[in-house]
Amino acid sequence: MYRHVDEYLNFLAVEKGASLNTLEAYSRDLNRFIDFVERRGIQKIGKITSDDIVALLGYLKSEGLVSNSVNRTLAAIRGFYKHLLSEKIIDENPVSNIDLAKVWMRLPDTLSREEVTMLLEKPDLKTLLGVRDAAMLELMYATGIRVSELVCLTTNNVNWQMGYLIVLGKGSKERIVPIGRTAFECLTTYLEKARPKLLKESSTNIIFLNRSGKGLTRQGFWKIMRKYAMKAGLMKKVHPHTFRHSFATHLLEGGADLRSVQVMLGHSDISTTQIYTHITRERLKEIHKKYHPRG
């Protein structure tokens, strides 16, 4: 049975171009699945029933796994069985009638517009690193890109005439995101005045560089963001994804349609984007409670 898992993972890597993180997660979930059914005395893939899979999900819940993790395991098993069917290794799919466990949606942390402004004003534009940091923070908030996408940006990813980014997201999917006037000006200033001095004698087309002239890491950006959040006196827990959440929330609060926000975030499923509509509803309730005479 482990051979079938290895063949499926190879299929995901070669045919589907799955990322290393996806492959590691699927490998972990599927090998745990095979371990579980083997302990139940099952030695052949065709002998696994829906009852075995339900038992696995129940076991995972009893071990303290949250619904999202249980659902991820079930999604991995679904994909695995779809592949087994297409390869005619099995005749029936025992997963077809099993529903996803209910996920209690946890709203992501966001910053208010005022808090974002406070943070964006903290970089010292008189220094090379301050100019760089201002460009990074403005670009993150203006585009909602992931930190992994930010640190991988090259000069070829920017359309200077039209003012947009060409972002290579999860699953090597390409999307176009407008930059916005303020972020574009900060980025231009950085590239013209700060980046050449940081680059020194190095040679790379990566946009954002560290003191050594090498590409900045995700951990490096996280430390930078945390530093400015502390300088701004923000009491909330601020991390790189906070700007992505704030980007989406502020767009929807301003009247943007959900489909456009989905495209800019690079979500393959609009249901993923819909979580931000919950945030805006919460914001509306806060406003009503604060300003309505009987709120």
Check pLDDT > 90 for residue 140. Answer: yes
* pLDDT > 90 in the chain, percent: 51
Calculate mean pLDDT across residues 3-26.
88
Residues 153 and 59 in one domain: no
Residue 49 lies in a domain: yes
Residues 120 and 78 in one domain: no
Residues 63 and 196 in one domain: no
Calculate mean pLDDT across residues 278-290.
73
Residue 99 — very low, low, confident or very high, per pLDDT cuts 50/70/90? Answer: low
Residues 79 and 117 in one domain: no
Give pLDDT tens digits for 19-60.
Answer: 888 899 899 999 999 999 898 888 888 888 888 888 888 888
Count how many domains the chain has.
Answer: 2
Measure the CA–CA gap between 197 and 126, rounded to whole angstroms. Answer: 14
Residues 73 and 15 in one domain: yes
Residues 140 and 282 in one domain: yes
Q: Phi-psi bin for 173: left (phi > 0), alpha (psi -120 to 50), beta? A: beta
pLDDT score of 244:
92
Residue 108 lies in a domain: no
Residues 132 and 80 in one domain: no
86, 105, 133 - which closes a domain: 86
CATH number of residue 139's parent domain: 1.10.443.10
Residue 107 lies in a domain: no
Residue 201 lies in a domain: yes
Domain that includes residue 36, residue range = 2-86
The residue among 123, 124, 128 whose CA lies nearest residue 197 is 128
Check pLDDT > 80 for residue 72. Answer: yes
Residue 241 — very low, low, confident or very high, per pLDDT cuts 50/70/90? Answer: confident
Annotated catalytic residues are: 146, 170, 241, 244, 267, 276
pLDDT score of 64:
76
Residues 58 and 182 in one domain: no
Measure the CA–CA gap between 98 and 78, rounded to whole angstroms. Answer: 9
Residues 32 and 137 in one domain: no
Residues 270 and 195 in one domain: yes
Pairwise pLDDT comparison (108 vs 155), residue with the higher score:
155
pLDDT score of 103:
45
Model confidence pTM above 0.85 = no
39, 68, 86 - which closes a domain: 86
pLDDT score of 34:
92
Check pLDDT > 90 for residue 166. Answer: yes
Residue 106 — very low, low, confident or very high, per pLDDT cuts 50/70/90? Answer: low
Residue 207 lies in a domain: yes
Check pLDDT > 90 for residue 121. Answer: yes
Give pLDDT tens digits for 170-217.
Answer: 777 899 999 999 999 999 999 999 999 999 888 899 999 999 999 999
Residue 94 lies in a domain: no
- Three-class DSSP labels, the chain: CHHHHHHHHHHHHHCCCCCHHHHHHHHHHHHHHHHHHHHCCCCCHHHCCHHHHHHHHHHHHHCCCCHHHHHHHHHHHHHHHHHHHHCCCCCCCCCCCCCCCCCCCCCCCCCCHHHHHHHHCCCCCCCHHHHHHHHHHHHHHHHCCCHHHHHCCEHHHEECCCCEEEEECHHHCEEEEECCHHHHHHHHHHHHHHHHHHHCCCCCCECCECCCCCECCHHHHHHHHHHHHHHCCCCCCCCHHHHHHHHHHHHHHCCCCHHHHHHHHCCCCHHHHCHHHHHHHHHHHHHHHHHCCCC
Mean pLDDT, the chain, integer? 88
CATH number of residue 69's parent domain: 1.10.150.130
